[in-house]
Amino acid sequence: MSKAEIDTITTEFFGAFDNRGGKAADVARIRRLVLPNGVIVRTGPDFAAYGVEDFVEPRERLLADGRLVEFSEWETSERTEIIDDMATRVGEYRKSGVLDGEPFEGGGTKVIQFVRTQDGWRIAALSWFDRD
């Protein structure tokens, strides 16, 4: 059941940013999926490290203010290794949307570290690299 839970959390994470068809993105769910002191890191093309709030707040604004619309991202492949109460998932993803009136597509790699807590699996750390 652990892999299924990790699959679900990963799908929820990607879905948090979806604002296609005029629906509101639910970026706030990241606060539930990631441990309160979790770390989120963009490794490229420009390095940045975030706490949960520092990551969530600007994305909530961007996805709600009309600058980024019809946005979604999705995992295209993954491998997950579970050892005791820890798991690591390496996944490729794609994304698309319209930013400031300009359509775009891209993709990259996300590495997600999960830990099993008393409340189930949660994300302890996530890093990503945007290739395009």
* pLDDT tens-place string over residues 84-109: 999 999 999 999 999 999 999 999 99
Residue with tokens 């295209």: 76
- Given strand 86-99, what is the order of strands in its sheet? 48-50, 34-44, 120-130, 102-117, 86-99, 68-83
Cβ-contact 55, 40 below 8 angstroms: yes
Separation between Cα atoms, residue 117 and residue 13, nearest integer Å: 17
| pLDDT tens per residue, range 31-78 | 999 999 999 999 988 999 999 999 999 999 999 999 999 999 999 999
pLDDT value, residue 39:
98
Cβ-contact 6, 38 below 8 angstroms: no
Report pTM: 0.94
In the chain, how many domains are there? Answer: 1
Among candidate residues 74, 38, 69, the one with its CA nearest the CA of residue 54:
38
CATH of the domain at 26: 3.10.450.50
Full domain range(s) for residue 17: 2-130
